[in-house]
Amino acid sequence: MVKPAPPELDLNQWLLRMHNASSRKAYVGTFVVMSAAGGMYSSRIWHVCDGDVQMERIDALTGPPRSTLRRNDQVITFLPELRVARAEKRESLGVFPNLRRGADPALANLYQASAQGVDRVAGFDADVVLIQPKDVQRFGYRIWSEKKSGLVVKIQTLDSDGRVLEQAAFSELDLDANVKMEKLAQMMAATSGYRVEHPDLTKTTAQQEGWALKGPVAGFQTVSCYRRGMPAAPTIGPKGPPEPTLQWTFSDGLATVSLFIEPYDRQPRAADEVQLSMGATQTLGKRVLGDWWVTLVGEVPAQTLKLFVQNLERLK
């Protein structure tokens, strides 16, 4: 039997279809992430929707035991070995997070999409879509979208030469799963015997904290800015209490970059600049403006992180 060709959709139509599938479909599956460097981890996912409410549970199958549950932006992560439960606000649990933001007309200035045919993933026919950046400041993506629902079942992050930096896919998937929202809600509330930790976050703006970018990094806009609490047992020096860490997050609609700014002397530093690469995730730590240390993390080329550093300026 000849498989039907992918539909002729533009970038935003493809992304909207994928976004709608993730917000309407209940499913259970095993999810595997692999990087070009050889790293691999897997997890078990339960996902259910009811109107505007989405709930997810993700159990880590590799590494230390960990269960994370989400109800919309309310997230709690259970660490059974430590008997700790960490509660916070997050838009997603990291399963194709940015592709769930839906359509944004401005994305067409940054990326272009083209259908690449049909393939099978976890037993399901999927349309293969290539999303290519229009500049060198971001990575590309090859996405497998389940043909009937539009659900993203596999995604590859590609460098400028088309090489796969990281791949994430369902190895097993049930799209007719009977996932009960009430049961997930009960699990999320079962904190008895755990020490519940809440991050010390205060919503703010970069300008209020005395920071700005001298110029924009093409396509990236501020999506959030938080002042994180003081480190444990802070030492008060001659200049008063130490500055809290600032977490400033940007997105172009698909890719995300986070800046963490703190005093340089907060902790010992082996060097004034550190770079790391793990699959698609790039990290840059650098001393800036003499007295400050900025750590940048994002699924973008390293040169994009350097642009953020070059544009960073202190207002006060």
* Spatial distance between the Cα atoms of 169 and 143, rounded to a whole number of angstroms: 10
Q: Compute the average pLDDT of residues 241-245.
A: 69
Q: What's the pLDDT band for 4 if we cut at 50, 70, 90?
A: confident
Residues of the chain with CATH 3.30.200.100: 200-314
- Domain topology for 11-196: outer membrane lipoprotein receptor (LolB), chain A (2.50.20)
Interacting residues of 232 by C-beta distance below 8 A, sequence separation 6+: none
Instruction: State both tokens at 176.
Output: 């007719």
Assigned architecture for domain 200-314: 2-Layer Sandwich (3.30)
Q: Compute the average pLDDT of residues 151-180.
A: 94
- pLDDT value of residue 146: 96
Look at 243 and 267; give whichever has higher pLDDT. Answer: 267
* Spatial distance between the Cα atoms of 133 and 258, rounded to a whole number of angstroms: 20
pLDDT exceeds cutoff 90 at 103: no
Q: pLDDT digit string (tens) for 107-138? A: 899 999 999 999 999 999 999 999 999 999 99
pLDDT exceeds cutoff 50 at 68: yes
Residue 243, amino acid: E
Rounded (5°) CA angle 312-313-314: 135
- pLDDT value of residue 232: 40
Secondary structure (DSSP) of the chain: -PPPPPP---HHHHHHHHHHHHHH--EEEEEEEEETTS-EEEEEEEEEEETTEEEEEEEESSSS--EEEEETTEEEEEETTTTEEEEEE-S--SSS-GGGG---GGGGGTEEEEEEEEEEETTEEEEEEEEEESSSSS-EEEEEEETTT--EEEEEEE-TTS-EEEEEEEEEEETT----HHHHHHHHH--TTSEEE---EEE--TTTTTEEESS--TT-EEEEEEEEPPPSSPPPBTTBSPPPEEEEEEESSS-EEEEEEEEGGGS--S-SEEEEEETTEEEEEEEETTTEEEEEEESS-HHHHHHHHHHEEE--
Q: Which pTM was predicted?
A: 0.88
Q: What's the pLDDT band for 240 if we cut at 50, 70, 90?
A: very low
- pLDDT value of residue 190: 95
Q: pLDDT digit string (tens) for 292-306? A: 999 999 999 999 999
- pLDDT value of residue 265: 85
- pLDDT value of residue 239: 44
Residues of the chain with CATH 2.50.20.10: 11-196
Q: What's the pLDDT band for 1 if we cut at 50, 70, 90?
A: low
* Spatial distance between the Cα atoms of 130 and 52, rounded to a whole number of angstroms: 29
Residue 158, amino acid: L
Q: Compute the average pLDDT of residues 220-240.
A: 64
Q: Compute the average pLDDT of residues 29-34.
A: 95
- pLDDT value of residue 123: 96
